Amino acid sequence: MQYKILENNRIASKGYAMLSKDAKFTPFEFSRHAIGDNDILIKILYAGICHSDIHTARSEWGEATYPCVPGHEIAGEVIAVGKNVSKFKVGDYAGVGCMVNSCGECDACKRSQEQFCENGKTIFTYNSCDVFHGNENTYGGYSNNIVVSEKFAVCVPKDAPMEKVAPLLCAGITTYSPLKFSNIKEGSSVAVAGFGGLGMMAVKYAVKMGAKVSVFARNENKKADALAMGVSSFYTSCDKNAVKERFDLIISTIPTPYNPAIYLDLLKFGGEMAIVGLPPHEVAPSISVITFVHKAGKKVYGSLIGGIAETQEMLDFSLKHGIYPETELITPQEIDKAYENLTSGKAKFRYVIDMTKE
């Protein structure tokens, strides 16, 4: 038996938690809700570290509930299934992203945009009040297992590179979704502003969808990487006179203060700018209604992860075309160090925790 059943059929779990906003990670034993008829129990193999984990665990985006076990980029193996489960059997691989449940009845849920559940019942993978399970706090992927409704787990083939699959479940869907929303296809013209982890994923998807892809970056450090990914132009200026191209879509992954309005000049008429990067709230830029009118016919929208059906689609697309993030494998003991490196900007790649290690 790969898991232990506790009172009320709850499942024993071991993870790594922050006990307060200034704390370091510490081993933490807890329990997960029982495996319901539609649930699966996943033995977690890999958990990616997302920058939002840090903001949340440090209470930078509002007061977190402690102990806090972050992690919403989860890849693992199914080790038990409820009696009604049809999508998975024991031994299958599965992935869990940012959500573990939602009402399932509203229009948003019905069209599989569970992140926009109109009844406000989107349950996030960690630090979320699980109204479907007695309002208990959810614990994330920095742990050895998770119980989740099969609907909120995606199918992963057994030959997939699991440590690369984990980060796709947040970074992948975040960038894949706006490309689909803006109907990017063969011959579309796409620019990606900000060339960090999200930016690189956006570039890889857009190139594979057949778009002509340009990058806007602060400096030329990663120009060679970009060109190797199939980028046609690499700009360090977004001056409309210096940049002659005009784009169907610009995806902004920029996580620092910037002027979004200048990108509107670089869109074709009817072109769209998708915002996925989140600068710190206190320095986040805005676009004035006057700017919208003066730069008329350019549409701006935000994009927030993606629904479960689209997450499966993204995963299938990624595996089919070998699109993965650059990752660096660490042990649970190295989470604190990884957080430091991410905060100071020293991190080069996506950290993924090998949860089979202690």
Summarize as ranges the residues that interact with its own copies (CB under 8 A): 108, 111, 113, 115-116, 181, 252, 260, 269-270, 272, 275-279, 281, 284-304
Q: Which of 197, 234, 201, 199 is nearest to 219 (CA)?
A: 234
Q: Which is nearer to its own copies, 42 or 267 (CB)?
A: 267
Q: Which residues contact 223 (CB under 8 A, 6 or more apart)?
A: 217, 234
For residues 86 and 241, which CB has a smaller minimum distance to its own copies in the complex? 241
Token pair 């559940």 is at which residue? 117
In the block, which residue shows the tokens 């790594």? 16
**Of 230 and 279, which has the nearer Cβ to its own copies?**
279
Work out how close the CB of 182 gets to its own copies at its nearest, in angstroms, rounded to a whole number: 10
For residue 286, the minimal CB distance to its own copies (Å) is 4
Q: Which is nearer to its own copies, 158 or 281 (CB)?
A: 281
Largest Cα span, the chain? 68
**DSSP H or E stretch at residue 119:** none
> In the bound complex, what is the minimum distance in angstroms from residue 170's beta carbon to its own copies?
14
Of residues 41 and 193, the one with the C-beta less far from its own copies: 193
Work out how close the CB of 195 gets to its own copies at its nearest, in angstroms, rounded to a whole number. Answer: 18
Cβ atoms 229, 203 nearer than 8 A: yes
3-class SS string, 246-268: CEEEEEECCCCCCCCHHHHCCEE
Residue 221: Cβ within 10 Å count = 10
Query: Nearest approach, Cβ of 300 to its own copies (angstroms)?
Result: 5
